[in-house]
């Protein structure tokens, strides 16, 4: 199971949000490249990057910082990137820059045809991000709750050919209250593609609980605030995973 450090970029800086709220951002580093180097040096096997400004603007906003991260990670560590990716040209540009996986969230829910086209055009490179609260999918930086059931939508997107489903419980994200294991397992059991857990990872106990259900189809977990604030030792988490 992968422990995947997250680098969320706002105005070129590495930050963490609480429950997706741009007004509740904590800056952990002014330099995204240095942050990426830190995780690479500790042995991370994949990196999760989000262009927060891009997610809210609907178009890329932090390409300079993203290129910096890619240059640090090189060919050794795959980078998965989300935030403001709304068209095939943007996907192609990022893949050409060296991003390995493109994460599509709000655009997939609002425009499933775009996700379908992306999976057809770039097979093996598309991850869909489903952010949910009480089983219902949210969009637009979590500001809007849709009527879509997360399992039903994930099954449909699986048929399109997504590489994996990134599942976030938005009630827990950035709050360090523990991963919603039950909901994550329920989703993973309904799918044949792997699930990446996200939202609320807090300590080694969470990692152990996820590791115990890895066989249900959980390939990894996003680590954010807990590893930046030192509540979760990244190296120890990797050893458990």
Which residues are known catalytic residues? 8, 131
Length of the chain in terms of residues written: 241
Binning the chain into helix, strand and coil, the percentages to the nearest 5 are 40, 30, 30
Supply angle C-alpha 7, 122, 219, rounded to 5. 50
Looking at the chain, which runs of residues are DSSP E strands?
A: 2-10, 13-18, 21-29, 47-51, 79-82, 101-104, 126-133, 136-139, 144-149, 164-169, 195-198, 218-223
**How far apart are alpha carbons 61 and 102 in whole angstroms?**
15
């Amino acid at each position: 199971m992968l422990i995947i450090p997250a680098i969320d970029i706002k105005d070129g800086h590495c930050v963490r949000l609480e429950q997706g709220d741009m007004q509740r951002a904590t800056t952990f580093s002014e330099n995204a490249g240095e942050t990426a180097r830190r995780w690479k040096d500790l042995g991370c096997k994949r990196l999760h990057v989000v262009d927060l400004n891009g997610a809210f603007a609907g178009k890329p906003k932090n390409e300079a910082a993203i290129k910096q991260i890619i240059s640090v990670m090189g060919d050794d560590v795959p980078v998965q990137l989300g935030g403001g990716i709304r068209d095939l040209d943007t996907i192609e540009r990022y893949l050409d820059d060296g991003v390995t996986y493109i994460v599509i969230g709000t655009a997939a829910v609002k425009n499933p045809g775009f996700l379908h086209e992306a999976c057809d055009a770039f097979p093996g490179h598309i991850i869909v991000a489903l952010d949910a609260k009480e089983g219902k999918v949210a969009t637009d930086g979590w500001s809007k709750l849709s009527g879509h059931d997360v399992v039903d939508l994930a099954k449909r997107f699986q048929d399109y050919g997504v590489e994996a489903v990134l599942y976030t419980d938005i009630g827990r994200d950035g709050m360090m209250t523990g991963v919603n294991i039950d909901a994550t397992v329920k989703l993973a059991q309904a799918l044949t593609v792997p699930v990446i857990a996200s939202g609320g990872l807090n300590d080694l106990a969470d990692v152990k609980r996820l590791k115990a259900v890895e066989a249900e189809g959980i390939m990894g977990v996003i680590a954010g605030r807990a590893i930046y604030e030192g509540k979760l030792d990244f190296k120890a988490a990797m050893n458990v995973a």
